[in-house]
């Protein structure tokens, strides 16, 4: 076991390169002037500037949340650059900087992967919106999508071209003053993705966003807004990486998802931000707010997340089940290593009658890391016949890590049922022995067991991500000897 | 090994337990109707081989505000703790259960189990359950489970279709739900609880 821990601790972060692209910065710090500057740079309408300023004023009166089971380094919000864009003044979308392209190549992200996949599927099935530092670099497959009436573009573009839609839905799920980090994001968000699938349309391909923090001393604050109108269907993926740096970098994103009547949204994330080095120096502070609402009856929202990166993860993708007979799922694998800390889970808020939710969370902790599941399942007074099942398992590798489970169950309806169960265990000697005895090398056995442990979640991912996630997990366990 | 039973509002209930090596204790807490307030119990398992078996039931049919808080700390390895708490909540009562199992670093070979089940009997009752695990050792077996629900109408139908009056059938359902805790009690106390249910 000791060797295993050593080997895991020796793992290098594979996406830790910096791309040398000329960048344009805003001055450090945060004030109303900076917000006006960001807004002006992006040529935003008055209402959006007002929205930002309002959020900023709220944020100034707020305190950071303290209840997470994480030790956060003190964040100096005046020491962060809130706006950094690669300098590509004209036609940003069609001319990708070769250095940027190389970055994406190195990462092997879906932009290129689509060609690999072309051999599998007859037509390319992935449309990508890549956000590099603060600016959305490129959005592919716009035309194919537009034929179906699907809008998939960067957030700034959506503000310019579809202001009514943005205005109608922005901050309806995560209000500007929702929490400290959401308020900060509402004030300074730089870019992000916007997606709208009209009534009755099934999105013909997977939509994907790709986020990367590149510049030093910057924070990334992207804002994603996904709207699935009546009967629409959509599968959305999001991936993230960042270079290796000694200082902590802040990532405070907000994702809002609106699911109308009978619509179906599947949202998948593979989060691989830089986790800091083996001594816990540096790494991304991933403090994000993700929330969806099943607004209409029969709507469905499914969250799938694979969390392997970040020094600190503070993230609770939640669903408000408002529509009658709507349903939601949350599938998560969170792996922590070295000195990583993760406090993640979900909230299922059942308001409508006959609503259903299912939570499957698998935590894996190794090294000196801390991994917590924190969840809320709430049955409102009108949630007649609602049902939830939650299963949270933790796997511990090594004796210096911690695994915790903090669920809250609140029931206000005598015809609603909530079930929660959790277990904590390690890879047993018996399991290892069984594999070894059949000629499976110890490290393969560990990978096999972890793979089997996480399978229920991994099998939910779209294929492009399933491959990446599997790779990430096995990379972390490479050379593991029980 | 003796089994201790405490009835809230009648007996003085220990607030802190300390179990030395090899010590075994079995405790059952009963919260009869009409008792609210905060009930706190903390237990430290400080010697290897200690074993704590904790169970309880709470009946809140009126306007009780019950707040149960349990903390079981495993500071050394090789100990076993079990918790089983069952509640029936009706009327306008609010009942919350907050139980934490803490397993210290190096408290290897710990076994800790925690369960909390509640049944809501009325539209205006509220329950909250926070079963929590905080674990810093890897070679452990820990699990917890929590459910909230209602008296199953199909079971009720089954009983009624066999000629059992509705009120009696409901009582049987409640007795069955509480049975795992009831069987730890002396006969007179069981009778008393049965009487509370009708």
Size of interface A-B (CB pairs under 8 A): 115
pLDDT of residue A307: 85
Nearest CA to CA, how far is B9 from chain A (Å)?
26
Judge whether B135 is closer than 8 Å to chain A, CB to CB. yes
- Residues with Cβ within 8 Å of A42's Cβ and at least 6 positions away in sequence, in order, are A156, A159, A191
* pLDDT, tens digit, 9 for 90 and up, residues A203-256: 887 787 776 665 556 667 888 899 999 999 998 888 766 666 666 778 888 999
What does the DSSP 8-state code read for residue A124? -
Which residues in chain B are closer than 8 Å to A418, comparing Cβ atoms? 146-149
Q: Is A115 helix (H, G, I), strand (E, B) or coil?
A: helix
Helices A98-107 + A110-118 axis angle, to 10: 60
Distance CA A231, CA A263 (A): 4
Asked if A403 and B150 come within 8 Å (Cβ–Cβ), the reply is no
Judge whether B16 is closer than 8 Å to chain A, CB to CB. no
H/E run at residue A133: none
Give this prediction's pTM.
Answer: 0.84
Ranges A87-91, B7-11, B68-72: which has the least confidence: A87-91
Higher-confidence position of A3 and B124: B124
Question: Token pair of B178, please?
Answer: 């509480």
Q: Is A468 helix (H, G, I), strand (E, B) or coil?
A: helix
Ranges A8-22, A285-299, B178-192: which has the least confidence: A8-22
Burial status of residue A57 (CB atoms within 10 A of its CB: 0-12, 13-18, 19 or more): middle
Judge whether B18 is closer than 8 Å to chain A, CB to CB. no
Identify which of A381, A411, A424 has the shortest CB distance to residue B127.
A411
Q: Is A166 helix (H, G, I), strand (E, B) or coil?
A: helix
Domain membership flag for residue B136: yes
Q: Where are the beta strands (DSSP E) in B16-122?
A: 16-19, 24-31, 37-45, 51-60, 65-74, 80-89, 94-103, 111-120
Asked if B120 and A414 come within 8 Å (Cβ–Cβ), the reply is yes
Full residue range of the structural domain in which residue B139 is found? 2-151
Picking from B73, B76, B82, B29, the residue whose alpha carbon sits closest to that of residue B51 is B82
* pLDDT, tens digit, 9 for 90 and up, residues B117-160: 999 999 999 999 999 999 998 888 899 999 999 999 999 999 99
| Rg, C-alpha atoms of chain B | 18
What does the DSSP 8-state code read for residue B48? T
Domain membership flag for residue B97: yes
Domain membership flag for residue B161: no
Judge whether A412 is closer than 8 Å to chain B, CB to CB. yes
Question: Token pair of A461, please?
Answer: 């991912």
pLDDT at A390 over 90: yes
User: Are the C-beta atoms of A383 and A409 separated by less than 8 Å?
Assistant: no
Asked if A399 and B139 come within 8 Å (Cβ–Cβ), the reply is yes
Judge whether A398 is closer than 8 Å to chain B, CB to CB. yes
pLDDT of residue A481: 39
User: Are the C-beta atoms of B66 and B97 separated by less than 8 Å?
Assistant: no
Interface predicted TM-score (ipTM) over 0.90: no
Domain membership flag for residue B137: yes
Asked if A403 and B133 come within 8 Å (Cβ–Cβ), the reply is yes
Judge whether B71 is closer than 8 Å to chain A, CB to CB. no
pLDDT at A475 over 70: no
Identify which of B105, B126, B149 has the shortest CB distance to residue A412.
B126
Judge whether B127 is closer than 8 Å to chain A, CB to CB. yes
Spacing of C-alpha A141 from chain mean position: 23
pLDDT of residue A123: 33
pLDDT of residue B18: 94
Domain membership flag for residue B182: no
Identify which of A406, A411, A426 has the shortest CB distance to residue B139.
A426
Domain count, chain B: 1
Which residues in chain B are closer than 8 Å to A425, comparing Cβ atoms? 140-142
Identify which of B129, B131, B133 has the shortest CB distance to residue A424.
B133
Domain membership flag for residue B186: no
pLDDT at B46 over 90: yes
Higher-confidence position of A191 and A375: A375
Domain membership flag for residue B192: no
Identify which of B130, B135, B147 has the shortest CB distance to residue A408.
B130
* A 356-385 near B (Cβ less than 8 A): 379, 381
Domain membership flag for residue B64: yes
Asked if A421 and B125 come within 8 Å (Cβ–Cβ), the reply is no
């Amino acid at each position: 076991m000791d060797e295993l821990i050593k080997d895991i601790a020796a793992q290098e972060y594979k996406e830790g390169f910096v791309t040398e692209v000329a960048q344009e910065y805003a001055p450090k710090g945060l004030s109303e002037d900076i917000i006006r500057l960001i807004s002006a740079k992006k040529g935003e309408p008055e209402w959006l500037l007002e929205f930002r300023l309002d959020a900023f004023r709220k944020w100034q009166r707020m305190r950071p949340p303290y209840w997470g089971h994480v030790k956060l380094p003190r964040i100096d919000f005046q020491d962060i650059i809130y706006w950094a864009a690669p300098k590509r003044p004209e036609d940003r979308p069609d001319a990708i900087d070769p250095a940027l392209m190389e970055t994406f190549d190195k990462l092997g992200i879906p932009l290129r992967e689509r060609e690999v996949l072309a051999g599998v599927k007859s037509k390319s099935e992935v449309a990508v919106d890549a956000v590099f530092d603060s600016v959305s670099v490129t959005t592919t497959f716009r035309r194919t999508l537009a034929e179906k009436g699907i809008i998939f573009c960067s957030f700034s573009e959506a503000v310019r071209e579809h202001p009514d839609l943005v205005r109608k839905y922005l901050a309806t799920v995560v209000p500007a003053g929702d929490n400290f980090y959401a308020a900060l994001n509402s004030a300074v968000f730089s870019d992000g993705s916007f997606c709208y699938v009209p009534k009755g349309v099934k999105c013909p391909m997977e939509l994907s966003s790709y986020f990367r923090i590149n510049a030093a001393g910057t924070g990334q604050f992207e804002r994603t807004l996904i709207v699935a109108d009546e009967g629409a269907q959509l599968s959305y993926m999001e991936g993230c990486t960042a270079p290796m740096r000694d200082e902590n970098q802040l990532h405070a994103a907000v994702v809002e998802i609106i699911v109308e009547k009978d619509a179906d949204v599947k949202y998948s994330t593979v989060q691989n931000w830089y986790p800091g080095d083996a001594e816990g120096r540096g790494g991304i502070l991933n403090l994000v707010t993700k929330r969806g609402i099943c607004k209409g009856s029969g709507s469905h929202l499914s969250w799938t997340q694979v969390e392997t990166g970040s020094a600190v993860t503070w993230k609770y993708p939640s669903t408000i089940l408002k529509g009658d007979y709507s349903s939601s799922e949350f599938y998560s694998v969170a792996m922590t290593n070295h000195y990583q800390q993760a406090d993640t889970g979900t909230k299922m808020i059942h308001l409508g009658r006959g609503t259903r939710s299912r939570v499957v969370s698998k935590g894996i902790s190794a090294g000196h890391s801390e991994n917590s599941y924190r969840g809320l399942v709430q049955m409102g007074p009108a949630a007649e016949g609602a049902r939830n099942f939650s299963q949270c398992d933790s796997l511990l590798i090594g004796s210096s890590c911690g695994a915790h489970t903090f669920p809250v169950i609140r029931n206000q309806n005598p015809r609603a049922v909530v079930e929660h169960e959790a277990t904590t265990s390690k890879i047993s000697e018996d399991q290892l022995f069984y594999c070894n005895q059949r000629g499976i090398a110890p490290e393969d056995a560990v990978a096999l067991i972890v793979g089997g442990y996480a399978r229920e979640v991994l099998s939910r991912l779209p294929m492009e991500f399933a491959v990446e996630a599997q790779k990430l997990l096995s990379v972390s366990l490479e050379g593991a000897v029980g | 090994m003796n089994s201790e039973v405490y009835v809230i509002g009648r007996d003085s209930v220990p607030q802190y337990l300390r179990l030395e090596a090899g010590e075994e204790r079995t405790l059952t807490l009963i919260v009869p109707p009409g008792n609210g307030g905060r009930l706190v119990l903390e237990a430290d398992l400080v010697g290897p081989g200690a074993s704590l078996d904790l169970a309880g039931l709470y009946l809140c049919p009126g306007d009780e505000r019950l707040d149960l808080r349990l903390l079981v700390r495993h500071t050394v390895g090789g100990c076993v703790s079990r918790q089983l708490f069952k509640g029936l909540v009706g009327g306008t009562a609010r009942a919350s259960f907050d139980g934490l199992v803490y397993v210290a670093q190096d408290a290897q070979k710990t076994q800790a189990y925690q369960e909390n089940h509640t049944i809501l009997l009325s539209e205006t009752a509220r329950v909250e359950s926070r079963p929590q695990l905080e674990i810093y050792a890897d070679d452990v077996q820990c699990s917890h489970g929590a459910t909230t629900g209602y008296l199953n109408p199909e079971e009720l139908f089954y009983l009624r279709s066999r000629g059992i009056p509705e009120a009696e059938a409901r009582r049987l359902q409640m007795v069955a739900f509480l049975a795992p805790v009831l069987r730890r009690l002396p006969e007179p106390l069981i009778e008393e609880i049965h009487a509370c249910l009708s």
